Structure 1
Amino acid sequence: MFSRLQAALALILLLVVLAPASAEPEKPSRQPLQMAEVLATLVRVQGEHPSPPEPAFLVRAGMRGAVRQMQEMGLAGDSLFEQKLTGDLKADIMTIERALDGLLAGRSAAEKGQVLWAGLAEALACLEDPGTRLHPPGAYAATLAELGYSLGGVGFFVDEEKDEQGRLVIVELFEGFPAERQGICRGDRLVAVAGRPTADLKVNELIDIVRGPVGTRIELAIQRGDGPIKRYGLTREWLNPNPKGSESRLVHPRAGYVKVKYLGHRLHHDVRRQIEDLQARGAKSLILDLRNCPGVPAGAIGLTDLFLPSGRLVMTEIGRADQTDWKTSDPTVLKLPTVVLINRYTSGAAALVAGALRDHGRAILVGEDTDPKEMQAFEKVAEELGDGSVATVTISYYRLPLGKMLWQGGLRADLEVPMPDPTVRATAGSGDLQFEKALELLVKP
């Protein structure tokens, strides 16, 4: 029994915890990009993007990308522009596919895949939206790794032994993560993963399928008792292997410091306890360090809630059909004078906190301007394609209380303090000029 529990725990870790680069699963064999994948991606843009262009605009952009790629291959693809478009996305894609079959006759499947890739990349780029783009194989995971997280899961634990029907029993869930939020429960049976029956999968194969780049989707088939099989589409999230997403300390007899490492759904509970402890030890002001901080927008709402009265606007989410105002709800407000530290790697969720606190006159921002490319201030879906590329599509934007869209220029610091020595890390210690400036503002002689 004990050895079985140990094995199950090992499986749990592989399923739901960030895996280091050395533990990445062996990459499956890849196939060149197919036109069906191009169509599916563009259909998603049309159906889910907050402000999609007309289908013909997407197709025309795709044609430009394809023709440029053919020219680089020494082919004359100009005749592609002679195709008549109807404005019906599926019909026009089929027209382009037939034309490309003729133009690329005799070319290898890999070369055809390159042309399709260039076309899809141009079609997504034409939206001029940083969240909607085609990432080359490996690039999406590498970008996430630079931010401190790469492989993720959906937050469930399974028993290592299958039941008599070859199903895997879900024995535990991570609170607040995708599986639980979608209503999956302990005792549910996992029937299939990504279209593959669990009865046909070995445990290590299951692990490789469930793990994947953060932000990509995975399809699960779940059965509860003798009920019907229900299908779920879950988006992988970074499941923090270090449950302590923040740390705190007294940096001056009258000033406290809280460093947020990852802005998770429930981080605000920990931060409140840390700040109250700092106050009990004499802190009259606070440095909130959001530098190099990844996270999720839901975490931004909870953290901002600590500093603003109930009913204040934190952000507005603008989707395809409607918009939602997210407001504070906690009547208990922490009133310490606050300086927020930001830098180029303050991600969208953390920047939402910084921007909202500034918009309400609650904090001064010190450090460096955020990089618009790091501003994941939007919700997006990510789909891994057959060639290993990842197509991401924005499905909603976030807007700050005073109207700022973070991905349009990023967030500017009130007091810019560059870090001239790249070897000095943002550690709130000796040589950290941004931290020293924040402390100077809060603790005056």
Structure 2
Amino acid sequence: MGFMQKKVFRAGLSLLLAFWVGFCGFCQPALALSDEQKLVAQVWRIVNRTYLDETFNHQNWASVRQKALAKPLKDDQSAYSAIQNMLQSLDDPFTRFLNPEQYRSLQVNTSGELTGVGLQIALNAETGLLEVLAPIAGSPAEKAGIRPRDRILKIEGISTQKLTLDEAAAKMRGAIGSSVTLFMQRDKEEWQVQLVRDRIALNPVVAELRSFPQGKSIGYLRLTQFNANAPMELAHAISSLEKKGADAYILDLRNNPGGLLQAGVEIARLWLESGTIVYTVNRQGTQGSFEAFGPAMTRDPLVVLVNQGSASASEILAGALQDNGRATLVGETTFGKGLIQSLFELSDGSGLAVTIAKYETPNHRDINKLGIKPDKLISSEPITREQIGTEADVQYQAAIELLAKNSVVAGAA
């Protein structure tokens, strides 16, 4: 999920509230609403002002508010249920309510560490099924052989069709050493797996200097997610590899499910001297763009590895580097999540994720549900984590071959 910086939208929320009060003098006074009703109304207002689809899934959004506030809301849970029912009418799995615990957990996921099985998950917008975006490197899920696009049919015997995205995630989190049983499906194969929860390391960067056949050196960088630390960690890694004499780079975004939009933008700026990185498009049309302003940390040749587990911010970065002619993309067509969510903190400490925009690459490609097609399409058989970036990794080997043909790396420049 690509979330913009929270403080920006806190300010935006204040403006929304001021607008509502200033232009709704004839409405029911705010003091007449209970705290629970205020929370529901707050969610309705945020969606009303920011949601990407101005038709609200072809329904009268004002009547949705009236219906949600018509019944007495006796406690937090009844308010949360009313909010969830209101949001479900939008038919958008990425616009969702997070109770205070879920909201705190999401903040940890984008900034620190967590305990669980290490799965990044999403609801397939077409099938409605719970799918694996990617297992986190070194996690119990990855060690068990779970792959991108695998479907999770049951968690502890409970059908995931009865669960929201956050309820499913909550059921897979838990104390270190405890176990959880998942019922999985891949194509027509179904199987059951028991995973033991562990601490999931969220250091997103792996960096190595590797020798090249022509006596040159390649900087191999693997980015596993776009959390708050990713831009700084990647900048440190590039700086270190430059000092060690790297002649070219491979940036591995395979199975990277995304994260913070701003992290993707900042990482693109590490590689680009100038040019547009991404356009954001809200319901009024093109809202704005993020630009690179240089200088880039390196101008050395770059190959980016992607696959069907590369999603969201990974696709923003890959699209920016491809459209600006900065990198050659190798691998498989990416996941195709071209929607941007903003995270709003609500009055009781809960949170609201709202799809506020879609994005387009610098060449105005809309990749939602389509993905980004690499310059060199190389399908890959499943490999273990230990085999990533080795001779057993055919996509990595294809990247090496491409760089070998490059005149700068070959020493012909």
Could you state the TM-score of these two structures normalised by the residue count of structure 1? 0.51
**Greater mean deviation of Cα atoms: 256-265 or 431-440:** 256-265
The equivalent residue for 1:270 is: 236
Q: After TM superposition, where is structure 1 displaced by more than 6 Å over at least 4 residues in a row?
A: 108-115, 135-150, 240-244
- Alignment partner of 1:381 is 2:343: yes
The equivalent residue for 1:250 is: 210
Alignment of 1:24-423 (within 5 A): 37-53=39-55, 57=59, 59=61, 89=62, 93-95=65-67, 97-98=69-70, 116=82, 119-125=85-91, 128=92, 131-133=94-96, 245-252=205-212, 253-256=215-218, 257-263=220-226, 264-278=230-244, 280=245, 283-293=246-256, 294-310=258-274, 312-319=275-282, 323-332=287-296, 334-372=298-336, 375=337, 378-381=340-343, 391-421=352-382, 423=384
Determine if contact 1:266/1:299 at 8 Å carries over to the other structure.
no
Paired with 2:291 and 2:302, the residues of 1 have a C-alpha distance of: 20
Paired with 1:149 and 1:367, the residues of 2 have a C-alpha distance of: 30
Q: Tell me how far 1:403 sits from its aligned partner.
A: 0.8
SS across alignment from 1:266: helix
Determine if contact 1:385/1:391 at 8 Å carries over to the other structure.
no
Q: Aligned pair in 2 of structure 1 residues 246, 131: CA closer, same or farther (>3 Å)?
A: same
Instruction: Please tell me the residue identity of whatever aligns with 2:277.
Output: V
- Alignment partner of 1:428 is 2:400: no
SS across alignment from 1:316: strand
The equivalent residue for 2:143 is: none
Paired with 1:292 and 1:355, the residues of 2 have a C-alpha distance of: 16
Paired with 1:423 and 1:268, the residues of 2 have a C-alpha distance of: 24
Residues 215-269 of structure 1, C-alpha deviations (whole Å, 9 max, x = no match): xxxxxxxxxxxxxxxxxxxxxxxxx977673412214233412222444343453
Paired with 1:144 and 1:286, the residues of 2 have a C-alpha distance of: 31
SS across alignment from 2:271: coil
Paired with 1:410 and 1:317, the residues of 2 have a C-alpha distance of: 16
Higher gyration radius (CA): 1
Q: Aligned pair in 2 of structure 1 residues 426, 407: CA closer, same or farther (>3 Å)?
A: farther
Residues 23-81 of structure 1, C-alpha deviations (whole Å, 9 max, x = no match): xxxxxxxxxxx66544432221111224432698154xxxxxxxxxxxxxxxxxxxxxx
Q: Which is richer in strand?
A: 2
Residues 406-443 of structure 1, C-alpha deviations (whole Å, 9 max, x = no match): 43422223333333235456621242222122112222
Could you state the TM-score of these two structures normalised by the residue count of structure 2? 0.54
Instruction: Please tell me the residue identity of whatever aligns with 1:328.
Output: A
SS across alignment from 1:314: strand
Instruction: Please tell me the residue identity of whatever aligns with 1:429.
Output: T
Determine if contact 1:58/1:124 at 8 Å carries over to the other structure.
no
Paired with 1:123 and 1:329, the residues of 2 have a C-alpha distance of: 42
Instruction: Please tell me the residue identity of whatever aligns with 1:43.
Output: R
SS across alignment from 2:44: helix
Paired with 2:271 and 2:312, the residues of 1 have a C-alpha distance of: 19
Instruction: Please tell me the residue identity of whatever aligns with 2:255.
Output: N
Higher relative contact order (CA 8 A, sep 6+): 2
Paired with 2:313 and 2:105, the residues of 1 have a C-alpha distance of: 20
Determine if contact 1:314/1:401 at 8 Å carries over to the other structure.
yes
Q: Tell me how far 1:134 sits from its aligned partner.
A: 5.1
Paired with 2:110 and 2:305, the residues of 1 have a C-alpha distance of: 17
Paired with 1:426 and 1:139, the residues of 2 have a C-alpha distance of: 35
What 5-or-longer segments of structure 2 have no aligned partner? 1-35, 116-169, 171-199
Number of matched residues?
A: 281
Determine if contact 1:255/1:439 at 8 Å carries over to the other structure.
no
Instruction: Please tell me the residue identity of whatever aligns with 1:48.
Output: T
Q: Tell me how far 1:289 sits from its aligned partner.
A: 1.1
Paired with 2:224 and 2:308, the residues of 1 have a C-alpha distance of: 15
Alignment of 1:8-27 (within 5 A): none
How many percent of aligned residue pairs carry the same amino acid?
22
The equivalent residue for 2:15 is: none
Q: Aligned pair in 2 of structure 1 residues 389, 399: CA closer, same or farther (>3 Å)?
A: same
Q: Tell me how far 1:121 sits from its aligned partner.
A: 4.1
Determine if contact 1:131/1:376 at 8 Å carries over to the other structure.
no
Paired with 1:144 and 1:407, the residues of 2 have a C-alpha distance of: 25
Paired with 2:86 and 2:113, the residues of 1 have a C-alpha distance of: 24
SS across alignment from 2:48: helix
The two structures, once aligned, show a CA RMSD in angstroms of: 4.4
Q: Tell me how far 1:355 sits from its aligned partner.
A: 0.8
SS across alignment from 2:390: coil
Q: Aligned pair in 2 of structure 1 residues 134, 408: CA closer, same or farther (>3 Å)?
A: farther
